[in-house]
């Protein structure tokens, strides 16, 4: 174990961020933690009483360094199938790559079509649900939890419930007054800040959250989980830097292009007033060849 991991491992109060998708997958995506996932799913989907999901089959995933370092691969999600056959995919996204809707529909379609094998029947296709937990604002609606289905445009009659997509935007939730009596609010409070002060408020109402906290503490003492979580956090930070760098480069290029267009407009006006090519070139900083092309455009 390296020195940095030793330091972390020896901190009694150290707790991993459950929003780190490596940690999230280990916390919610394991058969031994089925009760944790069931509580979370029922909270997100609003299932109560006899309507609650009572069991799921896990599609287990093995994490490796190469996958964890590749932010573009959506492999760090949680996939399950309910006892009724409904397919559910949960993905947590820490950074905005400005492609979430298309990415969601792409992964939804893969999960949906993977149900039918060669020679299978379309009637065998089951409802497929995608749940996206976003650590950034994305949907142009104030509410933090939005749900989408297929509806007719005018009368809003549902075509089928076979498609269901959820977006949960954490920054929007943070702006709200959390309601500890609401199951989804309790789970989001846990994901955002799993400290003792918050947990004392919500654990009494939800034994599954108490277990989730215990599992998270165990994961936070596991050197391999800490190492993988740090790798993932670094990959996400690098991707954020790349996105920010591209944005700044785009701004710079835009400014330079704006200046150049401004010079061309001045050159156009000067040429229209009868100034010669050499004078316009010296006055604007454009090459004589560029000024000649502008003059040719005026002459057309």
Q: How does residue 168 score in pLDDT terms, banded at 50, 70 and 90?
A: very high
Mean pLDDT of the chain: 83
Q: Quick one: pLDDT at residue 74?
A: 46
Say whether both 93 and 141 belong to one domain. yes
Tell whether 287 and 187 lie within a shared domain: no
Does residue 62 share a domain with residue 164?
Answer: yes
3 state DSSP class of 153: coil
Both 40 and 189 in one domain: the answer is: yes
Sheet holding 78-82, edge to edge: 56-58, 78-82, 87-93, 128-134, 158-169, 145-151
Confirm whether 9 is domain-assigned.
no
One domain, residues 195 and 274: no
Are 209 and 277 in a shared domain?
no
State which H helix or E strand residue 113 sits in. helix 100-113
210 and 81 in a single domain? The answer is yes
Q: pLDDT over 90 for what percent of the chain?
A: 44
Q: What 3-state DSSP class applies to 186?
A: helix
Query: Of the ranges 188-192, 222-226, 290-294, which one carries the lowest mean pLDDT score?
Result: 290-294
Given a contact cutoff of 8 angstroms between Cβ atoms, the answer to whether 43 and 184 are in contact is yes
Is the domain of 261 the same as that of 169? Answer: no
Count of residues making up the chain = 300
| Per-residue model confidence as pLDDT tens digits over 124-156 | 899 999 999 999 999 999 999 999 999 999 999
The answer on pLDDT for 255 being more than 90 is no
Reported as a single tens digit per residue, the pLDDT across 58-93 is 876 665 555 555 545 445 689 999 988 899 999 998
Give the pairing type, strands 128-134 and 158-169: parallel
Q: Check whether residue 172 and residue 291 sit in a common domain.
A: no
25 assigned to some structural domain: yes
Q: How many domains, in total, are found in the chain? A: 2
For 19-75, the DSSP string reads: TSHHHHHHHHSSGGGHHHHHHHHHHHHT--GGGS---EEE------HHHHT-TTS--
Within a domain: residue 6? no
For residue 294, what are the domain limits? Answer: 256-299
- Domain shared by 35 and 161, yes or no: yes
- The lowest-confidence range among 86-95, 257-266, 282-291 is 257-266
Decide if 3 is inside a domain.
Answer: no
Query: Is residue 64 in some structural domain?
Result: yes
Examine residue 12 and state whether it is found in any structural domain, yes or no.
no
User: Are 155 and 207 contained in the same domain?
Assistant: yes
Confirm if 29 and 97 have CB atoms less than 8 A apart: no
Q: Is residue 7 part of a domain?
A: no
191 and 46 in a single domain? The answer is yes
Read off the pLDDT of residues 8-55 as tens digits, 9 standing for 90 and up. Answer: 444 457 899 999 988 999 999 999 999 999 999 999 999 998 899 999
Domain contains 5: no
């Amino acid at each position: 174990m390296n020195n940095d991991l030793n330091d972390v491992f020896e901190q009694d109060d150290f707790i991993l961020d459950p929003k780190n998708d490596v940690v999230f997958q280990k916390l919610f995506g394991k058969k031994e933690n089925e009760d944790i996932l069931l509580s979370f799913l029922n909270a997100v989907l609003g299932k109560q009483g006899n309507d609650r999901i009572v069991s799921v089959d896990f599609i287990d995933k093995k994490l490796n360094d190469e996958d964890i370092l590749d932010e573009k691969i959506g492999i760090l999600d949680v996939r399950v199938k309910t006892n009724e056959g409904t397919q559910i995919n949960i993905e947590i996204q820490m950074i905005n790559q400005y492609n979430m809707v298309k990415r969601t529909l792409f992964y939804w379609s893969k999960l949906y079509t993977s149900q039918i094998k060669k020679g299978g029947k379309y009637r065998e296709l089951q409802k497929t649900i995608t749940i996206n937990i976003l650590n950034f604002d994305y949907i142009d609606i104030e509410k933090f939890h939005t749900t989408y289905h297929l509806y007719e445009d005018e009368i809003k009659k549902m075509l089928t419930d076979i498609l269901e997509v959820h977006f949960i935007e954490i920054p929007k939730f943070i702006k709200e007054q959390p309601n500890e009596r609401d199951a989804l609010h309790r789970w989001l409070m846990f994901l955002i800040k799993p400290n003792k002060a918050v947990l004392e408020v919500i654990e009494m109402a939800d034994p599954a959250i108490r277990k989730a906290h215990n599992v998270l503490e165990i994961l936070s003492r596991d050197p391999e989980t800490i190492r993988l979580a740090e790798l993932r956090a670094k990959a996400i930070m690098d991707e954020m830097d790349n996105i920010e760098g591209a944005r700044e480069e785009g701004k710079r290029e835009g400014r330079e292009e704006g200046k150049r267009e401004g010079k061309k407009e001045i050159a156009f006006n000067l040429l229209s007033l009868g100034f010669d090519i050499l004078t316009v070139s010296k006055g604007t900083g454009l090459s004589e060849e560029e000024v000649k092309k502008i003059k040719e455009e005026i002459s057309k």
